[in-house]
Amino acid sequence: MNSPDTALVHRVEQTIRQHSLFHPGDTLVVALSGGADSTALLDLLFRLPGYNLRLIVAHLNHCLRGVESDGDEEFCRELAARHAIPFEARRVDVRRVADENRLNLEDAARRARIEFLDEICAKYGAAAVALAHHADDQAETVLMRLLRGSGLTGLSGMAYRNARGYVRPLLEITRTEIEKYLRSSGQEWREDASNSDTIYLRNRVRHQLLPLLEEYNPAIRSCLAATASIIADDEALLAELTEQAVAGSCTVGEGEIVCRVGQLITLKPALRRRFLRHAFKQLAGTLEGVSLRHLEALCDLLESGRPNARLALPHGVAAVRAYDRLVLMRTSETEPETGFELQIAEPGCYQLPSGGSITVESADAATFPTDPDTLYLDLDKTPFPWLIRTFRPGDRIIPFGMSGRKKVKDIYIDRKIPLAGRRRIPLLWQGDDLLWIAGVCASELCRIGSPSATLVRVTFNPGGSDTQA
């Protein structure tokens, strides 16, 4: 084997240090396909001076090219053995996975690789997974995302280190430099015939579009990679500002994020879109499938004159406009709850199907309660049995201190109680008379006139629900 290009080794080392990709002595999983890029990556990491890395080779056989795929696996196995490096391999019928899950081959292969690499990383307690993407890949990625209509986040290209702990030490090295490095050191690699198949968008960009653009700018590949790097720095700053805006305007709960509409409306459109993307990702864990159309629909929801509205979003998330709040929540949290009825025939504690409880107990004296979750009743005027049920259209109450009946719906609107919260509020009935909208409004029928009345205290414990949410 010939002497390797030490200058390239030092350039890769400089990238690793500049972006803090990993540290000396770390365990790294190296994704090895057998192609020129990953073969060079393994050799470069093996030769890094002063790092003394513990390397693990991981190869996924996609089973797409029959004996050629098996040949790739065997090549990688022998290459790992030549370096005395542990070897992990897995065979996945990607075409079958794609058919079963209604995915295209590229997406099915990507998901299979991520699952495999994550498992190997966890198995060895690795600090990172090293991928062989290089400067030409970066240029192709930027062009592909530009063609698909990506925003700045997409145009920033592939990160040197992503949130999964995947690192790309070769992002500043071109494919030409990689092949020159391998030839200079006398190393072989495998050629994947599918890399020439222009049925795939990346291959069309690589073999058709980029050569055409080079007629206008011979340095187009390095220009695109440099542009992606600049945008990535800007993106990092904007992401920090977005996180600050979200932290100041949102409350994160279990399965939901509640944002203040008034503050969102004051944000510039660009920051507002980023805000909504960030909040969605925080809840759903991904932005896959979220398009500009979804963001525009969310912005329309914010600016709508309707105080209550709902929007379905990808990944089982719904956006609910509730007066001055925008609530992003999982769909299961926003499904209408089934109405219920519950008889109360005597004092005791009654668990509500919607969550929380109602407690009825004897009381010696009644004062006008300042706590809206407490009510005093005169059993001589409003004897058992009582009925607790959920709201129905047309329900009316005589609010305390008034003589006429008022629609419960109008009271909810006046109090700005959102639709989702209304379904959780129990209504206390005695016969055909509504005595109490628990936690909201008591009826004039509850007024206690006699000092000798037989009193009970009724307490509503809403539990985890929030009628004002």
Question: In order of start, what are the domains of the chain with their CATH numbers?
Answer: 6-228 (3.40.50.620), 254-332 (3.30.465.60), 341-461 (3.50.40.10)
Pick from 3-12, 34-43, 276-285, 317-326 the range whose average pLDDT is largest. Answer: 34-43
- Give per-residue pLDDT as tens, 221-274: 989 988 998 999 998 898 888 888 888 888 888 788 999 888 888 888 888 888
Residue 127's nearest CA partner among 85, 164, 170 is: 164
pLDDT (0 to 100) of residue 177:
94
Diameter over CA atoms, the chain: 106
Chain-centre distance for alpha carbon 439: 34
Residue 392's nearest CA partner among 349, 434, 350, 445 is: 434
Instruction: Tell me if 59 sits within 8 A of 77, measured CB to CB.
Output: yes
Q: How confident is the model at residue 466 (pLDDT cuts 50, 70, 90)?
A: very low
The answer, yes or no, to whether residue 96 has pLDDT greater than 80, is: yes
Cα–Cα distance for residue pair 278/46, rounded to 1 Å? 38
Give phi and psi for 201, each to the nearest 5: -60, -45
Average pLDDT over the chain reads: 88
Instruction: Tell me if 258 sits within 8 A of 250, measured CB to CB.
Output: yes
3-class SS letters over 297-324:
HHHHHHHCCCCEEEEEECCCEEEEEECC
Cα–Cα distance for residue pair 46/53, rounded to 1 Å? 7
Sign of CA dihedral 216, 220, 223, 227: positive
pTM for the predicted model, two decimal places? 0.65
- Give per-residue pLDDT as tens, 146-185: 988 777 888 999 999 998 999 999 999 999 999 999 999 8
Return the residue matching tokens 């960030």.
Answer: 278
Q: Which residues of 76-91 are buried (b: 16+ CB within 10 A; e: fewer)?
A: bbebbeeeebebbbbe
Q: How confident is the model at residue 42 (pLDDT cuts 50, 70, 90)?
A: very high
| DSSP element (H, E) containing 344 | strand 341-344
157: helix, strand or coil: coil
260: helix, strand or coil: strand
Chain-centre distance for alpha carbon 2: 48
The answer, yes or no, to whether residue 88 has pLDDT greater than 90, is: yes
Strand order in the sheet with 166-167: 87-91, 54-61, 27-31, 128-130, 166-167
> Between 289 and 398, where is the model more confident?
398
